[in-house]
Amino acid sequence: MTTFERRQALMRYLKEQPGIKVTELAELLNVSEGTIRNDLTALQDSNQVRRVRGGAVLIEQTQQATPPPVENATGKQRIARRAAEMVNDGDAIWLDAGTTVRVLVPFLAQRQRLTIVTNGLRVALQLAEQSTHLQGAHTVILVGGRIGTDGLYTIGTGNEQLLDMVNIRTAFISGVGFTLEAGLTVMEYEDAQLKSRVLNSAENVVALVDASKFGKRGFAPVATLEQISHLITDEDLSAEMLMQLRHNRVNVTICGENTIRSHTVTNGSEKYTIGFANQSESLSFAQDVRHGLEKAAATRRDIDLVIADNKLSGEEALRVADHLINRKVDIAIEYQIDYRSGNQIIDKFQRANIPVIAVDIPMVGATFFGVDNYRAGYMAGEALGQWVMTHWQGEIDALIILEEQRAGDSPKARIHGQQDAFEAIVGKVSAEKIITLDSGNTRAISQANMISALQSIPDAQRVSVISFNDEAAAGALHGARSLDRETDVVIVGQGCDRLIRSEIRRPDSRLIGSTAYMPERYGAKLLEIATAILQGKSVPPALYVDHVFVTRDNIDQYYPV
């Protein structure tokens, strides 16, 4: 792909997904984050985009968005991103015509084969354009009769009777106002009538209400408190209103800049507030851990979640710990990369008398849950050694090790396990053939360091690569690919997260497999452990996930397409 082609692709992605980040663009285009930033700077210099924190937006988008203005745009972006995470591939959903729902549409670009019913003209057009770029296109159904007052939605008699005959999994609705007495309200009576039919057809009703709407009331009521399954709002919601919503047994999620708080109703049982400090929202593995935790919490009525992002930073993890303590959580689940910050984090929580569960990276004084690092590494090392014996007759020119020093000694065991198993099969690798690199726990850093390493051994045609995680494995692969040396390498990963599953499925891929940790299953186990600790039950000091080495031959058994 030429520079021009890549920048054209960047423009297309920015148009389809206004909130897309540099890290996601780098992954989609198989280049480093530095390359993406250079491209965005060049596009900004040519007045085609405007740089914003974490990415960029098209100049034409910012101009077109001015009429009409989006009130509380930042809050609505956070609400929309959160709402999109409630949608699964293949779902049938309702989207109304509100501005918050329109902001939601770009976040659905990662979903496939949705059936979407809407009365929003602009929403329907956005979805239709988005579907042309998706492998699993959406089905979009527009309902209603005449055009509403602002020309952006339909109301009145038409084909809305089909709502009586369909099953909608989740209806995402918004309005012009929200009060405890009237619930969610809109300006037009016919609009309210249409949405009442939607509510009768939907299994779940999710109200998207930014804080500016509370206390206001439109002409016609849409949904009472009893009809709303979940309400998503932003951090400007007053403490008094939150207390009243909880008193009225409304499930509420509050989306802040760095944290997300989920408050669920209880049926009289004891209520726990659990804090989860995630490793990084930029990593697909960490995202899957959070999704699994939220999914598990959604089945419980005795848990409120407070979610924060450690951003792969020990300093940020310390700030997050202070935040969770100030929120008076009953227990903290810590997923953070910098082992050197672990002692300080534990000390903070212990002084606040808050127990801690450490995920994947052990912390002295915390209950550990996660990877059996040596065993997980050993499984990958065995597979790598067997591949080398079969395809290269046991001979290699170099062994590249992509490690992560910040994680400490225990995760380092997954590197030791890989190397021990590999050498048990192919024999001891001489020191001059071993190249150790810093993975940085990101694909971009791994890719850059892999490129440098391969350039230092231009004649090597049999290079084995062991990795700290799948981010490192993907970076190694793309580094080799960028030099047109993919056939010179063979790589194994750790985690088998969604970042590399499609790559494993490729018949000719040199990323031959990855040890699966199944992060999507972490959540249920973490809540089970947390509840046991809070109830004073005996819990082992360390609990491990089950592992399996996933290859092209068995991936559909664990992750069906």
Q: Which residue reads 């994680």 in tokens?
A: 407
- Do 333 and 354 meet the contact criterion of CB atoms below 8 Å apart? no
Q: Which two tokens stand for residue 222?
A: 């849409």
Distant-in-sequence, close-in-space partners of 519: CB < 8 Å, separation ≥ 6: 285, 286, 288, 289, 292, 495, 497
121-162 tens-digit pLDDT: 888 888 887 766 655 678 888 887 777 665 577 776 566 667
Is residue 56 scored above 90 in pLDDT? no
Mean pLDDT of 246-267: 80
Residue of 75 and 553 predicted with greater confidence? 553
395-438 tens-digit pLDDT: 999 999 999 887 777 678 999 999 999 999 999 999 999 999 99
- Do 142 and 124 meet the contact criterion of CB atoms below 8 Å apart? yes
Distant-in-sequence, close-in-space partners of 486: CB < 8 Å, separation ≥ 6: 477, 480, 510
Mean pLDDT of 234-244: 88
Using alpha carbons, select from 549, 408, 415, 521 the residue that is nearest to residue 472.
415
CA distance 93 to 111: 12
Predicted TM-score (pTM) above 0.85: no
Strand 177-179 with 183-186, pairing: antiparallel
Letter for the amino acid at 216?
Answer: K
Q: Please state, for a pLDDT cut of 90, what percent of the chain lies above it.
A: 48
Indicate the pLDDT class of residue 4, thresholds 50, 70 and 90.
low
Using alpha carbons, select from 144, 150, 213 the residue that is nearest to residue 182.
213
CA distance 192 to 184: 10
Residue 394: CA atoms inside 13 Å, Cβ hemisphere, count?
Answer: 6
**CA-based R_g, the chain, Å:** 25
Indicate the pLDDT class of residue 58, thresholds 50, 70 and 90.
confident
Mean pLDDT of 165-187: 91
242-256 tens-digit pLDDT: 889 988 888 899 988
Letter for the amino acid at 492?
Answer: V
Cis peptide before 362 (omega within 30 of 0): no
283-307 tens-digit pLDDT: 888 988 998 998 898 888 788 899 9
427-469 tens-digit pLDDT: 999 999 999 999 988 888 999 999 999 999 999 999 999 999 9
Using alpha carbons, select from 463, 553, 545, 479 the residue that is nearest to residue 512.
553
Q: Which residue segments constitute the domains of the chain, with CATH numbers given?
A: 3-64 (1.10.10.10), 73-257 (3.40.50.10470), 272-369+521-535 (3.40.50.2300), 373-516 (3.40.50.2300)
Please tell me what DSSP assigns to residue 433. Answer: G
